[in-house]
Amino acid sequence: MNKKNQSESDTSDKLIRPATVLAGWHTLDQIYAQYPLRTGRVVVRGKTARRDPSSVLFADFVLCLKPNIPLAVVEAKRSSLSLQAGMQQAIHYAQLLDLPFCFASNGEGFVFRDATLASGVLEQTLALDQFPLPQDLWARYCKWKGWSSAVQSVAGFDYALATTAKTPRYYQLNAINRTVEAIAAGQNRVLLVMATGTGKTYTAFQIIHRLWKSPWRTDKPCGQKRILFLADRNILIDQTMVNDFRPFKGAMAKLSPHAKGIERINEQGQVELEEVDLAVHKSTKLARNPQLLCQRHPGRPDRHTQRNQGHIQQRLLWRSHLHLQPQAGH
């Protein structure tokens, strides 16, 4: 085939992907082709509804440090177009993912746009064999953010993948990553405002999982990290515990005002109930020290939550927004 007549699909598969693989990007968990950004606007006509295909967005390639931690966007074009023909699209997609790096290519090379200005140049042309290594882009990104090695270890920590089939949408990625990065960097208050149906509980689950499992605050004398999850209705707590928060079974408990006790999800996923008097030690610490405590928010914490606030490092108020607030000094 004449190189000047290659389609966008040909340049992607035969030239761009091999160049990224040669630079050390792993094809299974670092290179994502046809990465979904927007599923499209829903158009309602009478009793029928459909997605508007003109509003669907896919990035040709998204390069990730690890799954769900994106670093760069690559936009491919057919070989008959100029090298930088896809740059405006790449910039737009990078902005959606909150990324400073993007590439455009027609298969002959790359135009690399680095908004961090690490090399002092915004855009430069690269040959196919000059594509940056994953470690190089991650190092530039961390330097641009001003992160210490401790913050990097938390911000780059894995998502929970094996326990859920859900893939975060681009705005959920931004919410999860920005929140984890802010808390890891020492920010004490973070507010996320999310509309109904945008996946607030899933977003909270990934934030909690990454902070809980990561090296964040492991040097504190209080031991394992503890998190309080609040919602305004018991049914929201119950649904959360058996659905998105299911991977936390064995480390999760719920203060139950109706049962007048503490509900726990054991390792087998079954609900156990303990009386409050038996579940609370004389030291006022919750028995067996649950690391994730779920409770209905009645406007103010009840007496049992107040007695245990000194042992809780994260508070999540969850209805239409997420509020994470580390307790100073604990």
Does 330 fall in a domain?
Answer: no
Using DSSP's 3-state secondary structure scheme, residue 97 falls into: coil
Does 127 fall in a domain?
Answer: yes
Total domain count, the chain: 2
pLDDT per position as a tens digit, 105-130? 999 999 999 999 998 999 999 999 99
Residue 161 sits in the same domain as residue 46: no
Q: Average of pLDDT values for 35-40?
A: 88
Does 329 fall in a domain?
Answer: no
- Rounded to whole angstroms, the Cα distance separating 122 from 112 reads 8
DSSP 8-state symbol, 327: P
pLDDT per position as a tens digit, 142-160? 999 999 998 999 999 999 8
Could you say which of 122, 145, 168 is where a domain stops? 145
Residue 136 sits in the same domain as residue 154: no
Residue 201 sits in the same domain as residue 139: no
Per DSSP, what are the bridge partners of residue 48? Answer: 45
* Strand 57-66 to 31-38 pairing: antiparallel
Residue 128 sits in the same domain as residue 163: no
Does 99 fall in a domain?
Answer: yes
Does 291 fall in a domain?
Answer: yes
- Rounded to whole angstroms, the Cα distance separating 253 from 279 reads 11
pLDDT per position as a tens digit, 226-285? 788 888 777 788 888 878 888 887 777 777 666 566 777 666 666 676 665 544 443 344
Look-up of token digits 């993007």: 102
Residue 194 sits in the same domain as residue 310: yes
Q: Collect all residues with Cβ–Cβ distance below 8 Å to 92 and sequence separation of at least 6.
A: none
pLDDT per position as a tens digit, 179-212? 999 999 888 889 999 988 888 888 998 998 898 8
Tally helices (H) and strands (E) across the chain: 10, 16
Q: Which domain holds residue 94?
A: 3-145
Which CATH number do you get for residue 267?
Answer: 3.40.50
- Rounded to whole angstroms, the Cα distance separating 206 from 9 reads 34
Look-up of token digits 């007048």: 260
Residue 48 sits in the same domain as residue 184: no
Residue 117 sits in the same domain as residue 62: yes
Does 174 fall in a domain?
Answer: yes
Does 204 fall in a domain?
Answer: yes
Which CATH number do you get for residue 103?
Answer: 3.90.1570.30
- Residue ranges in 97-169 assigned as alpha helix (H): 134-145, 149-155
